[in-house]
Amino acid sequence: MTVVTRFAPSPTGRLHVGNIRTALHNFLFAAKHGGRFLLRIDDTDRERSTAEAEAAIHADLAWLGLAPDAVFRQSDRFDLYEREFERLRAAGRIYACYETPEELDLRRKVLLGRGLPPVYERPAQENAPVEGRSPHWRFRLDHDSPIGWDDLIRGEQKFDPRLISDPVIRRADGSWLYLLPSVIDDIDLGVTHVVRGEDHVSNSAVQLQMFAALGADPPQFAHEALLVAAEGKLSKRLGAVGVGEMQEEGLEPMALLSLLARLGTSQPVEPIGHLPELAATFDFDHFGRAPAHFDMEQVGQLNARLLHQHDYAGVATRLPDWVDADRWLALRSALTRLSDIDQWHEVVAGDIPVPSLSEEDRTFVAAAAGAANSTDWTADPWHALTNALKAETGRKGRALFHPLRKAITGQDSGPEMGPLVRLLGKERVVRRLEVAAQST
């Protein structure tokens, strides 16, 4: 069996982290098993669907690196839905209903008032047409066939169809609701695994009977615990956090994907630089049932760690011209966003402002200038210099390292000094130490 998964967004806006997590898990599961990852654009709601939103979905997936193997659009498949609809109707599995929303709401309230479940009361025989009203259509559940499946995340699931309302599958204006077209598509496209949020569990129960009514074997289901905002993070709804914001903040796609791949699982969250590495360890057995807490700060932390381990080839096309391989290796440990590298241009390629040091530190860096001038620069000049100064002055820790960093870079913090000092070279380091020793 070739594994086939699908991601099925509605083109009504840009992807947010919940959508992205669903897309990622479908992508990773298919990739791990050498299968196919499909993109299905669920654009049956013609009023809310837009070409701009669909284009944004494609752009977002491209930025994330989640390239589908094929793309389908539900609006291109209405003839197929119509044929299957008529087949089910002829078999007595679809019937017309004429109640208004107000009538249905009143009936639900009556049932609740009697202490009964608000399940739609199926008519004993086919509803008679009501003059002036177009029917909506319901799928007739088989009350004699208990519903159950072994969910890849939630385990054994059981539903009593008598406690579920026959679902509306088509509106009075002829437009489709989600349930039946999705089943028809999954059958036609050979989808083997449906991976989605646990808010779809009851939908899956209904859809299992639709698969059976259409004479098809159902896919396997994996219903994930939902993504929620991290505790205390109330300033932004998760629905507003998406690719656009990630791009504006200069975040790497793999920082987000590294988090979303492992969030809510027993596996450690760690920076992983490539999707095949994430796919190799992806397994629904690691997923828990508790809600997964998403925190943008964690994305930022992973972003910094990813940049610190990126080789030059992986970022070369996105770096300014003045950054070559040596400068990248020297500067990457100081970055939290790739754009941060711009602030280091003058440090490695120009002149820095004269730092302000205490009299005691000026004396110390004067000694450092002399020591740097006599240090062997062919091996590891930074450690040779600091070891010599430690022996000569007795300084250690911050008292030793901070004045040197300040004098050489003009900054209080920054990249590892060993690679940076080698990059700057003896002449520039000695000159900066000498200038800093004369500062006031």
- β-pairing, 193-197 vs 220-224, is parallel
What average pLDDT does the chain have? 93
Residue 172, C-beta contacts closer than 8 angstroms, at least 6 positions apart = 133, 134, 135, 136
| 109 belongs to an annotated ligand binding site | no
pLDDT at position 235: 38
Domain boundaries, the chain: 230-312, 349-437
Topology, domain 349-437: Arc Repressor Mutant, subunit A (1.10.10)
Longest dimension (CA), the chain: 102
pLDDT at position 248: 83
pLDDT at position 232: 45
CA distance 230 to 303: 18
**Mean per-residue pLDDT for 346-364?**
93
116-171 per-position pLDDT tens digit: 889 998 887 777 788 888 999 999 999 999 999 999 999 999 999 999 999 999 99
43-65 per-position pLDDT tens digit: 998 888 899 999 999 999 999 99
CA distance 107 to 318: 61
Q: How confident is the model at residue 237 (pLDDT cuts 50, 70, 90)?
A: low
Residue 136: what are its φ and ψ, rounded to 5°?
-100, 165
260-295 per-position pLDDT tens digit: 999 999 999 999 999 999 999 999 999 999 988 898
The identity of residue 407, as a single letter, is A
**Mean per-residue pLDDT for 305-320?**
94
Q: 107 vs 99, 138, 356, CA distance in Å?
A: 10, 17, 79
217-228 per-position pLDDT tens digit: 999 999 999 888
pLDDT at position 234: 38
C-alpha dihedral (101, 103, 107, 113), degrees to nearest 10:
90
pLDDT at position 30: 98
pLDDT at position 336: 95
pLDDT at position 236: 46
7-20 per-position pLDDT tens digit: 999 998 888 899 99
Conformational region of residue 57, where left means phi above 0, alpha means psi within -120 to 50, and beta covers everything else: alpha
Conformational region of residue 45, where left means phi above 0, alpha means psi within -120 to 50, and beta covers everything else: beta
pLDDT at position 14: 85
Q: Which residues pair with 159 in a beta bridge?
A: 147
Q: How confident is the model at residue 246 (pLDDT cuts 50, 70, 90)?
A: confident
pLDDT at position 21: 95
Topology, domain 230-312: Glutamyl-tRNA Synthetase; domain 2 (1.10.1160)
380-435 per-position pLDDT tens digit: 999 999 999 999 999 999 999 999 999 999 999 999 999 999 999 999 999 999 99
Contact assessment for residue 388 and residue 312, using Cβ atoms and an 8 Å cutoff: no
pTM of the full structure: 0.89
